[in-house]
């Protein structure tokens, strides 16, 4: 759990709840002009000016969303922030502030909270967001992390899920399925370790997919890239639960259907080779794996020329009328395969 196993451990009761919050948050400075008042009062204050305030919240539970057997706490803190900022990126908002709630059992010493907050601090620095509030409590069970993130944007620049039109092109950033294949490697090596703690984990050659799983990034860069290209997406969502599930969300909320081309789905070579090694179809990892934190959006067909050769983007399909449904066109056979939501469903897959 802790990176440095020799750190002397301090029980949380030596600081108390208020002392712990103060200890963890006092090094966080406010950098955003919209952060008027941060941690320490009954509530924080944001000064949004003329902008709209965009808010999201995620709750992550131990052994459902993460396993502390192979996820370092620092990475967990970073990733918990990233998953929220990804939601803001999917609205085309600029992330500005976060609030952090933690419930943790007594097996977590002060040093564990420090590592978690070191990861949160790193994400705050990298994405230039301010920690402005939080709450920390004991729990009788494992660790639960709740993060709320706040962003700002002009009303006309916010992009929703509900505004795609038939014939719009479906575009994805980066590549997919890597985070899922990284998880498979981590779980395999953890099983080996549990069976024989003297075995060294074999992580070499998996660096990209392990990073996709352990230290994903939110695509907050895409907002600027699209602006430079003169493209305004007609709808957008982030890929946290797998491509299939996200396409169905866009379809449902925009009242359209989508045709997705299997051969167009962007996959990294390491995702493909690891999938082959584990006798797994990498397209399934992309469709149902989740946690890639890439963005999925639609654009007007007229914008195709602006985007077609850009390395950040891949056109993977197009929107159709709702009654035409949601299908993947299979590679080679061109068979139509119905898209189903087998996304990361915490209640179904991991209970």
The nearer residue to a second copy, 235 or 271, going by C-beta atoms, is 235
**Quick check: helix, strand or coil at residue 245?**
helix
Binding site feature residues for Mg(2+): 42, 56-58, 87, 135, 238, 241
The nearer residue to a second copy, 66 or 258, going by C-beta atoms, is 66
The nearer residue to a second copy, 109 or 119, going by C-beta atoms, is 109
Give yes or no for a contact between 211 and 305, defined as CB atoms under 8 angstroms apart: no
Binding site feature residues: 42, 56-58, 65, 87, 117, 134-135, 161, 238, 240-241, 291, 344
Give yes or no for a contact between 342 and 61, defined as CB atoms under 8 angstroms apart: no
The Cα–Cα gap between 332 and 339 comes to 18
DSSP annotation of 205 reads T
Instruction: State in angstroms the smallest separation of the CB of 207 from a second copy.
Output: 29
* Token couple for 296: 């999925």
Which of 53, 291, 32 minimizes the C-alpha distance to 183? 291
Instruction: State in angstroms the smallest separation of the CB of 32 from a second copy.
Output: 13
The nearer residue to a second copy, 153 or 274, going by C-beta atoms, is 153
Which of 178, 150, 142 minimizes the C-alpha distance to 60? 142
Instruction: State in angstroms the smallest separation of the CB of 258 from a second copy.
Output: 17
Instruction: State in angstroms the smallest separation of the CB of 43 from a second copy.
Output: 4
The Cα–Cα gap between 210 and 72 comes to 12
Binding site feature residues for substrate: 65, 291, 344
The nearer residue to a second copy, 331 or 350, going by C-beta atoms, is 350
Place of tokens 């082959």: 276
Give yes or no for a contact between 203 and 210, defined as CB atoms under 8 angstroms apart: yes
- How many whole angstroms from its chain centre is CA 9? 31
Instruction: State in angstroms the smallest separation of the CB of 126 from a second copy.
Output: 20
The Cα–Cα gap between 154 and 51 comes to 5
């Amino acid at each position: 759990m802790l990176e440095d196993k020799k750190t002397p451990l301090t029980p949380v009761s030596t600081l108390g709840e208020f002392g712990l919050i103060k200890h963890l948050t006092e090094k966080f400075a406010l950098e955003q002009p919209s952060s008027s008042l941060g941690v320490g009062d009954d509530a924080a204050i944001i000064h949004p000016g003329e902008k709209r305030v965009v808010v999201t919240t995620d709750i992550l539970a131990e052994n459902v969303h993460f396993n502390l057997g192979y996820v370092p706490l620092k990475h967990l803190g970073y990733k918990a922030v990233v998953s929220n900022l990804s939601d803001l990126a999917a609205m085309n908002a600029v992330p500005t502030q976060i609030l952090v709630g933690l419930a943790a059992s007594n097996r977590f010493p002060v040093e564990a909270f420090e590592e978690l907050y070191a990861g949160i601090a790193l994400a705050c620095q990298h994405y230039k967001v301010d920690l402005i509030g939080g709450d920390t409590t004991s729990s009788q069970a494992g660790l639960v992390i709740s993060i709320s993130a706040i962003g700002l944007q002009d009303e006309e620049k916010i992009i929703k899920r509900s505004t795609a039109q038939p014939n719009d092109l479906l575009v994805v950033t980066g590549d997919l399925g890597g985070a899922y294949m990284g998880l498979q490697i981590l779980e395999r090596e953890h099983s080996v370790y549990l069976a024989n703690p003297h075995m060294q984990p074999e992580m070499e050659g998996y660096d990209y997919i392990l990073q996709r799983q352990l230290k994903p990034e939110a695509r907050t860069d895409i907002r600027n890239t699209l602006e430079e290209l003169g493209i305004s997406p007609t709808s957008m969502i982030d890929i946290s639960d797998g491509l299939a599930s996200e396409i169905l969300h866009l379809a449902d909320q925009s009242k359209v259907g989508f045709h997705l081309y299997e051969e167009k789905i962007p996959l990294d070579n390491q995702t493909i080779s690891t999938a082959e090694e584990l006798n797994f179809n990498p397209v399934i990892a992309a469709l149902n794996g989740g946690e890639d934190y890439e963005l999925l959006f639609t654009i007007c067909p007229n914008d195709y020329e602006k985007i077609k050769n850009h390395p950040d983007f891949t056109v993977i399909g197009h929107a159709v009328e709702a009654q035409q449904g949601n299908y993947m066109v299979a590679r080679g056979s061109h068979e139509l395969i119905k898209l189903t939501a087998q996304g990361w469903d915490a209640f179904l897959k991991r209970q």
